[in-house]
Structure 1
Amino acid sequence: MKAFVPTGRADTPVALADVPEPRPRANEALVKVEAFSVDRGETFQLERPRPDWRPGKDIAGMVVQAAADGSGPANCRRVVGHPPAGGWAEYVAVPTDSLAELPDAVTTVQAAGLPLAGLTALRLLRAAGPVAGKRLLLTGASDGVGHYLTELAAGGGAEVTAVTGSPERGRRLSELGATEVVQDINDAQGDFDLVLESTGGDQLTLALSRLARRGTLVWFGQASRRPVTLDFFDFFTGPESATLRHFHYADSDTPYGTDLAVLVRLVATGRLHPQIGRVADWAETAGTLTDLRDRRVRGKAVLTVA
């Protein structure tokens, strides 16, 4: 079968190659991939790819071989999945607890844009606790995770202030429920009960200073790729009883498939709207990756498999 493999080159980070078709384990289904999405974090991994690693964690398609142990979707069911790797291919083996079935109301392209960004947003808000009535500051808000976070948090009753690189990148966030969109943390009005920080570098220190008394900052990303320097003496003399927490989406007791089913249901009922910034044939994967790395794509980028 055909699959994308890393090249180690910045201009063309992946190339199509012939690879063996997956041999699913007993608890895995074989999925014919119809669409997959790419994430900016994967562009960083492709700079120094691990030996024998193939990228791809966000896929949607059809089950062509159900799991041998009887778990998961049956043959010919449309699904969205979050495999450990190898999803940028014609076929991928996916653990059945990392799959969710798709209703007719959710397209394959919409579904492909859900897994990593959607799971991160859903689990981040779950970790943050109830947001109704809280003032929430979100940095790096114009990427795929930021769109989902804004809509979910606003829908949950939070007053969301989103920080984006430009007014154009923030316009859709206002439509999704953001109360305020700013281009600099210093322009955000007031203090915040909850800060969701994904940029790192000096932005984390600035965001930490905007916490209200007993506020919480959840650090979930390092998009700037700059090191963070924290002066804990400043932290101790800052907002009283503030909390700083690190978050990673994979640290959850809930299977991926269970949370994917939640996201699919929200999309099907019109309560969540995947922001697909680009849809292209998978022949354009390498160019899409460089555009995503260089921030020329807003929202999610989805590639369709011919």
Structure 2
Amino acid sequence: MKAVLPSEDADKPVVLGEAPEPEPAGDEAVIAVEAYSVNRGETFQLDGGLDRRWAGWRPGKDVAGTVIRAAADGSGPAEGARVVAHPPAYGWAARVAVPTRSLAELPDSVDAVTAAALPLAGITALRLLRAAGPLAGRRVLITGASGGVGHYVTELAAASGAAVTAVSATAERGARLLQLGAAELVTSVGDASGPFDVVLESVGGDSLPAALAELAPGGLLVWFGQASRTPVTLDFFGFFKGPNQARIAHFDYTASDVTYGQDLAALVRLVAGGRLHPEIGTVRDWTETAEVITDLRNRKVRGNAVLTVG
């Protein structure tokens, strides 16, 4: 079958080629992929920034399509069901096998392109907000807010009653965040007017210590990414002199008792109900995946990038 394969060419990180057909386990359904989303973490894996984790790895964690082979154990949707799914890999392909606990059915009102933008960014946003705790009436700062996760977090946090300050590299890239409910948009942490009860930090480098300095007493900083790919240096003596009882928490979106399928179903309900609006910066044919990856690396895409499978 046709699939997007990793390439050793730095100028063209992936190529369209041939891959084996999926061989599903008993609890896996086979999906004919109609659309998939590209995440920045996958671009890091492709260029060696993160371990590929196993031999034969191919990218693809966010897909939407139709079940063409139901799970042998009887779990999950029947053949012909439209679904959104979060496989561990291999999703940039004509077909992929996905554990039924990692997919959710789609109503007619949610198309495949919209659904494909949900899994990694949407699940991360939901779990980040659970980690942050109740947000009604609280001041929240989110860095790197113009990516897929930032748009979801901003809309969901604002709907929960939080006053959200979003940090985006440029006002143009962050304009949509104001429409989604952000109370303030700034282009650097230094321009934010603290203190904040909660800081959601995803940039790393100089951004994290600057954001940490904006915490209110008893505040919480959740560290969930390092988009700058620059190591963080923290002065803990300065931190101990800072906000009383402030906390730093590391975040791993995979650590949850809730299945991916449950969170995907929640995201689908929010989208179908008009309460969540995926920000899709570009939609292209999957033959242009390499070009989309380059645009993501160069921060030319706001929100999510979705590829349609011809």
Partner of 1:41: 41
* In the alignment, structure 1 residue 124 sits paired with structure 2 residue 128: yes
Counterpart of 1:8 in 2: which secondary structure?
A: strand
Counterpart of 2:12 in 1: which secondary structure?
A: coil
Report how far residue 10 of structure 1 moved. Answer: 2.1
Partner of 2:116: 112
Report how far residue 248 of structure 1 moved. Answer: 1.1
* Structure 1, unpaired ranges of 5+: none
Counterpart of 2:218 in 1: which secondary structure?
A: strand
Q: Distance in 2 between matches of 1:227 and 1:46?
A: 20
* In the alignment, structure 1 residue 292 sits paired with structure 2 residue 301: no
Partner of 1:212: 216
Partner of 1:54: 58
Counterpart of 2:9 in 1: which secondary structure?
A: coil
Contact 2:123/2:253, CA 8 A, preserved across alignment: yes
Q: Distance in 2 between matches of 1:263 and 1:47?
A: 30
Q: Distance in 1 between matches of 2:306 and 2:289?
A: 9
Report how far residue 127 of structure 1 moved. Answer: 1.0
Partner of 1:9: 9
Partner of 1:233: 237
Q: Distance in 2 between matches of 1:8 and 1:209?
A: 41
- Amino acid aligned to 2:186: V
Q: Distance in 1 between matches of 2:131 and 2:8?
A: 36
* In the alignment, structure 1 residue 178 sits paired with structure 2 residue 182: yes
Q: Distance in 1 between matches of 2:10 and 2:19?
A: 22
1:11-57 CA distance string (max 9 Å, x none): 11011111110010000000000000001111111012743110000
- Amino acid aligned to 1:179: A
Contact 1:9/1:47, CA 8 A, preserved across alignment: no
Contact 1:213/1:240, CA 8 A, preserved across alignment: yes
Q: Distance in 2 between matches of 1:190 and 1:111?
A: 35
Deviates more, 1:201-210 or 1:5-14: 5-14
Q: Distance in 1 between matches of 2:8 and 2:121?
A: 25
Report how far residue 118 of structure 1 moved. Answer: 0.3
RMSD: 0.8
Partner of 1:304: 308
Q: Distance in 2 between matches of 1:295 and 1:14?
A: 18
- Amino acid aligned to 1:24: P
1:139-192 CA distance string (max 9 Å, x none): 000000000000000001000000000110111000000000001111111200
- Amino acid aligned to 1:229: T
Counterpart of 1:7 in 2: which secondary structure?
A: strand
Partner of 2:23: 23
TM-score with structure 2 setting the length:
0.98
- Amino acid aligned to 2:277: H
Q: Distance in 1 between matches of 2:169 and 2:266?
A: 30
1:252-280 CA distance string (max 9 Å, x none): 11100000000000000000000010001
Q: Distance in 2 between matches of 1:230 and 1:18?
A: 46
Q: Distance in 2 between matches of 1:8 and 1:230?
A: 35
Contact 1:31/1:93, CA 8 A, preserved across alignment: yes
**Between Structure 1 and Structure 2, how many residues are aligned?**
306
* In the alignment, structure 1 residue 84 sits paired with structure 2 residue 88: yes
Contact 2:194/2:215, CA 8 A, preserved across alignment: no
Contact 1:57/1:85, CA 8 A, preserved across alignment: yes
- Amino acid aligned to 2:30: L
Report how far residue 231 of structure 1 moved. Answer: 1.2
Q: Distance in 2 between matches of 1:281 and 1:9?
A: 21
Report how far residue 202 of structure 1 moved. Answer: 1.1
Report how far residue 8 of structure 1 moved. Answer: 2.3
Q: Which runs of 4+ in 1 moved over 6 A?
A: none
Q: Distance in 1 between matches of 2:129 and 2:10?
A: 34
Contact 1:144/1:298, CA 8 A, preserved across alignment: yes
TM-score with structure 1 setting the length:
0.99
Q: Distance in 2 between matches of 1:41 and 1:85?
A: 12
